[in-house]
Amino acid sequence: MILETERLVLAPLTVADAPQLYPLLSDPEVMAHWDHDALEEPAEVEACVAAQVEAMQAGQALSWAIRQAGDSAVLGSCELVDLDLRHHTAELRFMLARDRWGQAIALEAVSAVLAHAASIGLKRLNARTHVGDNRAEALLKRVGFLEEGYQKGHIHREGERRDCRLFGISL
């Protein structure tokens, strides 16, 4: 399902998008608050995107490449993972190219995905941030997510344990 907003087109992610996602997934600043380090090899990005496509085909996720309307360049991605249609739940994830930060693109994309989630019958979305990811937390709060929990030492990355915040929204 293609989602369109005033400025954006969110099209289902394909393996062909991997080369355009490489600059994001290999950028240490974009990946600073993700569970894994930046990916250094294009083949790693292709494998990652292929796994996302497989999850979509299995009905476990919905993933979109974010593009500016009228342009084929990928600006970021947004996805619903751990899709559970029986319980009407999923987890929201999103990322955006660093040169697009501060332009409300992620806000626009996430808002479109939330509307789509409600339209397909999802009732509850969760999201998780690494503590210190102030941009993501502000965006989640702006679209209506509430902070619901704290996971001390939840992620091991770069030789340290990282804390995470849990957010949720009822649709």
| DSSP output for the chain | --EE-SSEEEEE--GGGHHHHHHHHT-TTTTTTSSSPPP-SHHHHHHHHHHHHHHHHTTS-EEEEEEETT---EEEEEEEEEEETTTTEEEEEEEE-GGGTTSSHHHHHHHHHHHHHHHTT--EEEEEEETT-HHHHHHHHHTT-EEEEEEEEEEEETTEEEEEEEEEEE-
The pLDDT tens digits for 47-92 are 999 999 999 999 999 999 999 999 889 999 999 999 999 999 999 9
Domain limits of the chain?
3-128
pLDDT for the residue numbered 72: 87
Per-residue pLDDT averaged across 18-43, rounded?
Answer: 94
Architecture of the domain delimited by 3-128: 3-Layer(aba) Sandwich (3.40)
Question: Is pTM beyond 0.85 here?
Answer: yes
pLDDT for the residue numbered 158: 85
The pLDDT tens digits for 113-161 are 999 999 999 999 999 999 999 999 999 999 999 999 999 999 999 889 9
pLDDT for the residue numbered 28: 94
pLDDT-based confidence at residue 94 (cuts at 50, 70, 90): very high
